[in-house]
Structure 1
Amino acid sequence: MSIKNLLAIGAAVIGTAALPSIAAQAPLKGTFALPGVTEKATAELVVRETGPLTRELLIAFTDKATGRPITQFDEELTQELHVLATDTDFSSFVHEHAGKRGADGRFSVAMRFPKPGTYHVYADAMSKGLGQQVVRFEVPVGVATGPTALSQVPVGSAKGSDGPYTVNLDASALRVGAESMMALTILKAGKPATDLGLYLGVPAHAVFVGTDDLGYVHAHAVAADAPKGGHAPHGAHGSGSHGDPKAAIPAQLMLHATPPRAGRYALWIQFKAGGEVRTVPFVVTVPAAS
């Protein structure tokens, strides 16, 4: 047998041996998680363990109507895919983005989880021609899956902090099924923060997760003095416009969101301050319609 043939056989053996690292794990089927929006895409997730608390997430979207892989996506808030995760007691939060998307449309996302647990992982993408589609996966990290009592969800508060930064939040205007405005102020050492910057093109992000149905809402904030109609909630994916990176970010902001259902929501507000991304958790309650 020639050297050329031996090399070809060796390459084939190496190739087949490498495949099971991905293929050996059965893909996880996702659950559509965007209330009030028509499900037009499905998704599968393959999880590859890269360390005790690190995982590579391989996410592929499929057009529900045609059964074909989705390979084209629109950017929203500077990214084609947002991947967000929280554990079953809503005490942790992770927000990551994909690296370069493959030609087959599959995304690869490196994610570090803060502690062992079972995580609700949300893949939020703008599939071209289909609009925003969000799919949720249940991903165990270092533990077996299992239910967690909702009583572990923390009590709501109007104030939260990350390092020297405090966020004061007024969620009293939240109304089910209607666009609502929440006022928030970012303080540093008790005074309005003056070192704020854009995070993914906007002054602040907010992610709501329903503690009962795990429904998902992703919105962003604008300056409190912005003209009416100048916002573009992430859930609506309107203009996709971003702020001026050179403009000063005010400490007083307005967050526009449309809660799809009444009930309790875990909420995380993210913003850039002092050159770092800060994350402040809240729990808010949306009253039933009168």
Structure 2
Amino acid sequence: MSAHPRPISSRRRALAAAATTAVLALTLAACGGSGDDAMPGMDHGAKAHASHAPLATGAKGHDMAGMKHTASDDGLAAEKNGYRFSTASPVLPVGKAAAYRFTITGPDGKPVTAFSVEQTKRLHFYAIRSDLTGFQHIHPTMASDGTWTAPLTALQPGIWRMYASFTPDSGPDKGEDFVLSTTTTVPGTAPSTALPKASASTTVDGYTVTVTGRPMESMAHPLTVTVTKDGKPVTDLEPYLDTYAHLTAFHAGDQALAHLHPETQVSGGRGGPSLTFHAELPKAGDWRLFLQFQTAGTLHTAAITMNVG
């Protein structure tokens, strides 16, 4: 959980190739307009935008299309195979920026400091509230002792889940993908907003994002994302994290994370309008997808709800 932009491994390319025979129609959903779709707090990069108002992975184990995932593949565990996500920030202040510090310790109990570069970064960090609002995707910095610091923007009250997506570059499970997470409390009253209903497309910052395809529980299927503006295809998507768009999904109810890996290769400075992703979502029900793409140096984040059968 995965949940998820990075170079695609040969294993994932093989899976994606096997999945391309399964394209079907998909029902998706999103917020109503640009302001609602972007949702306060959504961003992807060294800085995250603030959540101004309170609002309601790649998982391992998919060596064969249709293989069932285990609970440890959904990014909800703080420990797996001896690797542990530990934080010194179990409580964060409400309504203001905060430095969230954590470490990844290995099976020997020592902080891990050797990480493989994935999608141009050694570690991808995500924060999302229990109602799947306030999404932040940050690339934290690591000190020499293995302590990571993620600069979070203002958080609204509630229970937040923090995820670390990484690949050890030494020791046990070298080269294996991990997504570990833990929860953090932001004190105060936490009103929630219901998850938006399904629809085939959404808009953000004047762009219309349409998704086709129909993933089934624990089965590999491709999703195609098409970006248009004013009814015209968008062909100026800029490379971002070694791809033209980044797609992360969170399961409604338990916040399981899944990365939807890009299949469309970067072939120049301009991409679009259509991009294909390898989708393998381990649970049925509603998922909230966050698509991030960049044009003219500006990062856009579209939020979409998808139902998986």
TM-score by length of 1: 0.72
Equivalent of residue 164 in structure 2, options 123, 130, 133 = 123
Instruction: Report the equivalent of 1:198.
Output: 239
- Quote the offset at 1:44 in angstroms: 0.7
With 128-137 and 278-287 compared, the bigger mean Cα shift is at 128-137
Contact in 1 for aligned 2:292/2:301 (Cα 8 Å): yes
1:129-144 counterparts in 2 under 5 A?
129=170, 130=173, 131-143=176-188
With 246-255 and 32-41 compared, the bigger mean Cα shift is at 32-41
Equivalent of residue 131 in structure 2, options 55, 80, 89 = 89
Whole-Å Cα distance in 2 between the matches of residues 50 and 66 of structure 1?
33
AA at the equivalent of 1:35: D
Contact in 1 for aligned 2:132/2:255 (Cα 8 Å): no
Structure 2: gaps of 5 or more residues: 1-70
- Quote the offset at 1:33 in angstroms: 6.1
AA at the equivalent of 1:112: T
Whole-Å Cα distance in 1 between the matches of residues 154 and 292 of structure 2?
17
SS of corresponding position for 2:178: strand
CA 1:208–1:49 in 2, change beyond 3 Å: closer, same or farther? Answer: closer
CA 1:50–1:285 in 2, change beyond 3 Å: closer, same or farther? Answer: closer
- Quote the offset at 1:268 in angstroms: 0.7
Q: What's the RMSD between the two structures over aligned residues?
A: 2.6
Instruction: Report the equivalent of 1:213.
Output: 254
AA at the equivalent of 2:196: P
- Quote the offset at 1:137 in angstroms: 2.1
Equivalent of residue 274 in structure 1, options 296, 301, 308 = 296
CA 1:163–1:210 in 2, change beyond 3 Å: closer, same or farther? Answer: same
Structure 1: gaps of 5 or more residues: 1-31, 227-242
With 36-45 and 68-77 compared, the bigger mean Cα shift is at 36-45
Whole-Å Cα distance in 2 between the matches of residues 114 and 188 of structure 1?
31
AA at the equivalent of 2:211: L
Cα deviation code 1:73-110 (max 9, x no counterpart): 111111111111111221321111112x2222111111
Whole-Å Cα distance in 2 between the matches of residues 270 and 122 of structure 1?
17
Instruction: Report the equivalent of 1:255.
Output: 277
Instruction: Report the equivalent of 1:185.
Output: 226
Q: Equivalent pairs: percent with the same residue?
A: 24
Instruction: Report the equivalent of 1:169.
Output: 211
Instruction: Report the equivalent of 2:48.
Output: none
Contact in 2 for aligned 1:158/1:169 (Cα 8 Å): yes
Structure number with the higher strand fraction is: 1
Whole-Å Cα distance in 1 between the matches of residues 72 and 227 of structure 2?
30
Instruction: Report the equivalent of 2:88.
Output: 46
Whole-Å Cα distance in 1 between the matches of residues 261 and 207 of structure 2?
18
SS of corresponding position for 1:44: strand
Whole-Å Cα distance in 1 between the matches of residues 211 and 154 of structure 2?
27
- Quote the offset at 1:181 in angstroms: 0.4
Task: Tell me which of the two structures has the higher relative contact order, counting C-alpha pairs closer than 8 angstroms and 6 or more residues apart.
Answer: 2
- Structure 2 residue 34 is matched with structure 1 residue 34: no
AA at the equivalent of 2:235: T
With 111-120 and 45-54 compared, the bigger mean Cα shift is at 45-54
AA at the equivalent of 2:290: W
Contact in 2 for aligned 1:168/1:185 (Cα 8 Å): yes
- Quote the offset at 1:60 in angstroms: 0.3
- Quote the offset at 1:50 in angstroms: 7.8
Contact in 1 for aligned 2:209/2:228 (Cα 8 Å): yes
